[in-house]
Structure 1
Amino acid sequence: MPTMSNQLGEKRQQSYTEVSSFQMSDGLAHNMEPVKTSRIFLAAVAANLSAFGIGICLGWTSPIGPKLKSPDTSDSPLDRPISSDEDAWISSLIAIGALVAPFLAGPMADRVGRKWVLLTSNVFFLLAFALNMVASEVWILYLSRVVQGFGVGFVITVQPMYVGEISTDNVRGATGSLMQLFIVCGILYAYAIGPFVSYQALQWCCIVVPIISDAVFFFMPESPYYLAGKGRKTAALRSLQFLRGQSAEGVHDEMAMIQANVEESMANKGTMLDLVKVYSNRKALLICAGLISFQQLSGINAVLFNSQSIFASAKTGLDPAIATIIIGCVQVGASGLTPLVVDRMGKKLLLIMSASVMSIGLAALGGFFYMQLVVGDISNVIWLPVPALIIYIVVYCVGFGPLPWAVLGEMFPANVKSSASSVVASTCWILGFLVARYYPALDALGSHYAFWFFSGCCMLALFFVLFFVIETKGMSLKEIQIRLGEK
């Protein structure tokens, strides 16, 4: 009697044989049917509407913080102004939910599908903004931020998996970088509306976003990889047909290869231990966790959560609310560049440029605050904070903002992808929490120390990319695994 492993081996061999024979007999006819990449981008954009919700949650504290801290509580849900410590908790607690959620989202993505986990993420956002509406005590705002964090964690974990699996090799870099674009659009949404409407009106403006997101994404297909892994071959074929805009005959070759890859992954069921035991997985984990760590240590959350306060303390003469809107617009414009250039320039070059220029921008910002403290008369450099932050934001949004997530979506084989996504997403938010929670304490010692610390981290990120990160431009998922396995 044949063993289970022999049976699986025979099935894999049969799948590969079918692919080969089909390509030899009629492959040319299939290759003549073009892929409609607009379908892929449609599904990727719909999936990224949940990332728009992340942006709203990240930008929410910037306009809301001054309302909550103001002695005039007429536009606050609380009957007293919050303390600096409470403000730090409100900024940072989103990271607590976001670092726990991936360990639920990853297994759920394998059980119920990538699509349904993304739809669930918007339920968390909906609940959080409803809590904000009825908040009368600080602890309710704390709870709301934790719930927001769960939504963020679900999206961060599963969205790169979904987008990576629906995309073809030639557009995976572009679709993978869309998340950052939608996040910064959400941040701009909060920045542009928050300072000019009441506290309650802002919550209503926020609550409509997850409703629209679920309504649109509900009509998109599930990942063909997930469906094939569950044995739902007909559904997987239909999903791939929709995503490629081709007939069943046109997607035959790709469907056969997906099926073979899925069967191979099922034959080698991965565990969390495989992330460190297998050399290629260990190398991929180092790259992804390293990039995500440096993303957070660049200080981005400290800047986003406190942008109005930073401009107010800089005393540039520019309305802090207007300055943050300018920053938000710059984020959107810069993030829109990445999908256009990443598949031409490559991820590694963009990451090198991003780390080096971020370091310069943050060092300049630290220098400004140092001169403000020591020199006193800074009229000659009063203009410096706005361009320094703009330069920092531009290169972050082109490089270290979107690309670590794009890399995560393509680095791991299917059998450990959900485990890897959970670990990397939690690493992101552990550091995100530490930065957001303790930035006020570091800032209290002197804003220049905070920005110089972040500048130093960006310089370390430059060397990390140079020596550890591999270029994946134009490579298939299988080719990336082969490259990672090279010693």
Structure 2
Amino acid sequence: SYRLSFQIIKMSTDEPSGSGSTKHGVRYLQYSSAFSVGILQVSQYVNLVWGSPTLPRLLAPDSPIGKPLTYDEASWVMSIIYLGVVLGGLLLLLLLDRLGPKNILLIGAVLTIVSWIIVGFAKSVAILVVGRTIAGIGDGISIPCVNIYICEIASKDIRGRLGAIPALLGIIGNTFIFGAGPYIEYTTLILVCASFPIIFLVLFYFMPNSPYFLVKTGRRREAKRSLIKLLGESTDSVVEKELREVEETVKSETGGLSLIQLLLLPNFRKSLLIVFVAHNVINFCGVTFISQYLQVILASSGIHMSKELTSVVYGVVQLPAVVLAGIVMDKFGRKPVFCISSAGASITLILQGIYVYFQRIIDLKSVSFIPVVCLTLYKFFICFGILHLPYFFSGELFTTNTKKVGIFIVSTYSSVVVFGTIKLFGNNFDAWGLHNICWFFGSVCFLGVLFSLFILPETKGKSFAEIQNHLATKKGYSSPRENKNTTATNETTMM
């Protein structure tokens, strides 16, 4: 039952009310919804890491598809999912306003199930590529909607905590596939992977729809029923207050605009810039490259660990990082979390680079533990904030009418960059040297510190309307004329 799920994943029973916040009933359904979406997050992570335990089998003489893959064929099977993500992002752009985040998530799960069926029966490279492409489309259409849905159903005082639940479950699934995947038979592993979206469909079908989407599509009565369920509160005055806030937010937003017209909106440009920079930090912080080349990096540092042991250690490190981040975000805010995460990742990467550089000159066997410590702490700090917050910002900073365009731009760009980063740094690993690569990634993480200190707005405890007002009135963000108009609007509202 969802009560049991709530007890398992609940991070704190004390929910801060904050100044001026509405007192709510017991919000079991918000946690249950986040937990259900977390099951899909597991499926999404599994889609992306399935190749790690599977690739050696596909390359072997007794390949499960009947013949071994060549390295070129294997690269297509492993990388084509990112092309699918781009196609899924395009579908999201076309369908989000029509279907809403809940239905999009359900569609993403169905596409993922179809992809596993195709992969399971594949007996040729072409069919494998088709299955992996569909998996990418499922991820591309649903990954952005995870945080959109969470942000739109969550009360503002627990939004950060709820956002951490899918990330936590996703990491558990990631760790499972990396650690147990090599020991599970090929077909059985596919069945295990396919079970996650099936479980999600069963659980999530009964979860409430986004009140913002329902109001936007003119279904006020349904939106009110959804809020009653989500708030655990049937008092009409409390529910009406929340509903009016949703209506005011939706009413104040502009829809039906072209991309050029959207780019002329100051708040959209600011939101896009902030989310874009945050995604650049995650794209160039080295997490994808280091994960793909972890064994090579450890070997270059003079360390030899089994792939399974390394994966389990890294997975265990991620779990407390995400749990801690979920608690800290709602207590101290997003800015400190992103700042600490960036600073920690920067320091550990720079130290790793220093170790690799001096290893070529002097004997460092007596301190050979340093690379393991640095990379383990690096993974902790990355998972504490950088790895998940950029997606969370997409759900908080974009308005309901601009999310589809903003997220499509960012996700398409990120998919291309991630693919290019793996190819570029992988092909030049020896030429550039591991120490220079670590220092480059560490420098980007340091820029993330500056970004969090001077650009990133704080969204803790703010409604969507308050976040947009903050973007419009923050010093240096808008013109004097815009500030004057905003001030006049605020004065009128107060009267």
Give matches, 1:170-181, under 5 Å: 170-181=157-168
Residue 199 in 1 paired to residue 189 in 2? no
- Any stretches of 5+ residues in structure 2 without a counterpart? 1-20, 479-495
2:25 to 27, 30, 35: 35
| Displacement of 1:125 | 1.8
1:261 to 226, 241, 249: 249
Q: Give the aligned partner of residue 227 of structure 2.
A: 240
Q: Per the alignment, do residues 66 and 438 of structure 1 end up closer, same or farther by CA in structure 2, a change over 3 Å counting?
A: farther
| Displacement of 1:468 | 1.6
Structure 1 distance, partners of 2:34, 2:193, is 22
Q: Give the aligned partner of residue 54 of structure 2.
A: 64
Residue 275 in 1 paired to residue 262 in 2? yes
Tell me, yes or no, if the aligned pair for 2:164 and 2:323 is still in contact at 8 Å: no
Q: Give the aligned partner of residue 4 of structure 1.
A: none
Q: Tell me the amino acid that sits aligned with residue 66 of structure 1.
A: P
Q: Deviations over 1:101-157 (max 9, x none)?
A: 222113312101211100111122222222332333444433333222212211222
Q: Give the aligned partner of residue 48 of structure 1.
A: 38
Give matches, 1:34-433, under 5 Å: 34-69=24-59, 72-74=60-62, 76-77=64-65, 79-80=67-68, 82-83=70-71, 85-247=72-234, 249=236, 250-265=238-253, 269-308=256-295, 310-311=297-298, 314=301, 316-370=303-357, 374-375=360-361, 378-433=364-419
Q: Per the alignment, do residues 308 and 450 of structure 1 end up closer, same or farther by CA in structure 2, a change over 3 Å counting?
A: same
Q: Deviations over 1:208-236 (max 9, x none)?
A: 11111111111101101111111112211
Q: Deviations over 1:191-249 (max 9, x none)?
A: 12212122222212111111111111111011011111111122111111110111161
Give matches, 1:5-44, under 5 Å: 34-44=24-34
Structure 2 distance, partners of 1:182, 1:271, is 37
Tell me, yes or no, if the aligned pair for 1:61 and 1:305 is still in contact at 8 Å: no
Tell me, yes or no, if the aligned pair for 1:60 and 1:190 is still in contact at 8 Å: yes
Q: Per the alignment, do residues 152 and 320 of structure 1 end up closer, same or farther by CA in structure 2, a change over 3 Å counting?
A: same
| Displacement of 1:317 | 3.6
1:448 to 413, 435, 452: 435
Q: Give the aligned partner of residue 424 of structure 2.
A: 438
% identical equivalent positions: 29
Higher mean alpha-carbon deviation, 340-349 vs 268-277, is at 268-277
Moved segments of 4+, more than 6 Å: none
SS of the equivalent of 1:246 reads: coil
Q: Tell me the amino acid that sits aligned with residue 47 of structure 2.
A: C
Q: Deviations over 1:334-388 (max 9, x none)?
A: 112111111112111111111121122223333444456x358552343233222
Structure 1 distance, partners of 2:365, 2:119, is 41
SS of the equivalent of 1:340 reads: helix
Q: Tell me the amino acid that sits aligned with residue 453 of structure 2.
A: L
| Displacement of 1:475 | 1.8
Q: Per the alignment, do residues 198 and 443 of structure 1 end up closer, same or farther by CA in structure 2, a change over 3 Å counting?
A: farther
Q: Deviations over 1:386-434 (max 9, x none)?
A: 2222111111111111211222111122221222222222222222221
Structure 1 distance, partners of 2:299, 2:58, is 16
| Displacement of 1:40 | 1.3
| Displacement of 1:309 | 5.0
Tell me, yes or no, if the aligned pair for 1:62 and 1:308 is still in contact at 8 Å: no
Q: Tell me the amino acid that sits aligned with residue 36 of structure 1.
A: V
Q: Tell me the amino acid that sits aligned with residue 409 of structure 1.
A: G
Structure 2 distance, partners of 1:459, 1:303, is 17
| Displacement of 1:259 | 2.4
Tell me, yes or no, if the aligned pair for 1:160 and 1:409 is still in contact at 8 Å: yes
What is the TM-score with the length of structure 1 in the denominator? 0.86
Q: How many residues align?
A: 452
Structure 1 distance, partners of 2:235, 2:225, is 8
With a CA cutoff of 8 Å and minimum separation of 6, indicate the structure with the bigger relative contact order: 1
User: C-alpha root-mean-square deviation of aligned residues, in Å?
Assistant: 2.4
Higher mean alpha-carbon deviation, 464-473 vs 126-135, is at 126-135
Q: Tell me the amino acid that sits aligned with residue 336 of structure 2.
A: L
Tell me, yes or no, if the aligned pair for 1:129 and 1:207 is still in contact at 8 Å: yes
Q: Give the aligned partner of residue 9 of structure 1.
A: none
What is the TM-score with the length of structure 2 in the denominator? 0.84
